[in-house]
Homo-oligomer: A and B are copies of this chain.
Amino acid sequence: MMRGVSIQIHSWAGGCTLRKIGKIRDVAKEAGLSIATVSRVVNGATNVSQPTRERVLKACAKLDYVPNPAARALSTNKSRTIAAIIPTIEHSVFAKYIAAIEQALSERNYSLVMAISNADEIEELKAAKKLLGMGAEAFILTGAAHSDELYNMFERRSVPHVLTSIWDLRNTSATIGYDNTALAAQAVEFLAARGHARIAVIHGPLAQSDRTQARKTGALSASQEHPALDFFETTLNVAGGKHAVHKLLRSGRQYTAILCFSDVLALGTYFALAQAGFRIPDDISVMGFDNLDWSEHVVPPLTTINLPARRMGYEVASQLVRHLENSEPIVPTLLSGQIIERRSVHRI
């Protein structure tokens, strides 16, 4: 191993005086104190006299001292790193959610390592192993459907983890999220209350998402024969929404409303309907799920269900940090979503 030799091949680094970046020992020498004292002030211990503290701080500044995170992690057995595994980050509510987690973690001086599982349990397991092997202290997962091996690994190593985007007390892992079942039921009731008796429901792949499954269950529980519900499964993107509408139109059945289990699908629905010459909400009502930032700006503004994505990210991150730092238990938390009534649903 070449110790102390730093190779430098960046053309942009030429011509500058590169003082050596200080380690804790250098700072101690510079300040004429011991490394223990330096460590104390750097870590905010209170048992250091004010003059000493200032001497150390000055030395730190002079040497541009940044504690080596690996050494610190090795010594404390804490990496200050939390992992999040999400099914996808593109065109979805997850971007919002991840942004919130990142921010909350950042404020607490933690870092986020992220992996994308593509809604695949095997990929997820692989990612989790890698993340663990990179020092993640805790995991944020989406939904409750994960491989047994993943759960076993967490259990075996006592890795704190929380399940998000769902609300399911049957689960033994801590859960912070919203109740997809109840929310979908509310959506159906909302539509029924406005006189819709035959509703087409467009949703993403059931096999890949227990959130979608929960929503379907909820919709079904709210209908009980009335209103009549027909389900159309499709891919979870704008194209999928369009295809589903085409199919639904060809089915020949007369729907007065379309409920989409994602705003992205609703956007596709808007375009397919426009193409087919239907006006929203006069000819047919459309309702979404997610309340993405553009949902209120489509025409007509989309009636949808607001999901507390930001709040969820914030809550998960802060609870996990509290747990890691003070061993506070993770308290299962139900966050509320709500129907945002705009202009895309008509009363019949």
Chain A residues engaging chain B, CB cutoff 8 angstroms:
1, 3, 6-13, 16, 18-19, 21, 64, 66-71, 73-77, 79-81, 88-91, 95-96, 98-99, 102-103, 106, 109, 111-116, 127, 129-135, 155-158, 160, 172-174, 237-239, 242, 264, 267-268, 271-272, 274-275, 292-294, 296-299, 327, 329-330
User: Which residue of chain B is the closest to A273 with respect to CB atoms?
Assistant: B299
Most buried by B among A66, A238, A293, A294: A294
Asked if B271 and A69 make an inter-chain contact with CB atoms under 8 angstroms apart, the answer reads: no
Given A18-B158, A133-B67, A158-B6, A114 contacting B116 (CB threshold 8 A): no
Asked if B10 and A90 make an inter-chain contact with CB atoms under 8 angstroms apart, the answer reads: no
Asked if B69 and A237 make an inter-chain contact with CB atoms under 8 angstroms apart, the answer reads: no
User: What 10 pairs between A and B have smallest CB-CB spacing?
Assistant: A70-B73, A238-B294, A12-B172, A70-B74, A69-B135, A271-B299, A238-B297, A111-B134, A8-B158, A111-B113
Asked if B11 and A172 make an inter-chain contact with CB atoms under 8 angstroms apart, the answer reads: yes
User: Which residue of chain B is the closest to A68 with respect to CB atoms?
Assistant: B74
CA gap between A77 and B156 in the complex, in Å: 29
Chain copies in complex: 2
CA gap between A81 and B112 in the complex, in Å: 11
From the candidates B19, B75, B98, B112, name the one contacting A113 in the complex (CB within 8 A): B112
Task: Kindly list chain B residues whose C-beta atoms are within 8 Å of the C-beta of A81.
Answer: 113, 134
Asked if A294 and B239 make an inter-chain contact with CB atoms under 8 angstroms apart, the answer reads: yes
Task: Kindly list chain B residues whose C-beta atoms are within 8 Å of the C-beta of A129.
Answer: 66
Listed by A's residue number, 6 A-B pairs whose Cβ atoms lie within 8 Å are A10-B160, A70-B79, A80-B134, A89-B99, A90-B96, A237-B294
Task: Kindly list chain B residues whose C-beta atoms are within 8 Å of the C-beta of A135.
Answer: 69-70
CA gap between A10 and B95 in the complex, in Å: 29
Task: Kindly list chain B residues whose C-beta atoms are within 8 Å of the C-beta of A69.
Answer: 70, 73, 79, 133-135
CA gap between A19 and B116 in the complex, in Å: 30
Report A209 CB to chain B, min CB distance, Å: 18
Given A69-B134, A131-B111, A327-B7, A12 contacting B79 (CB threshold 8 A): no
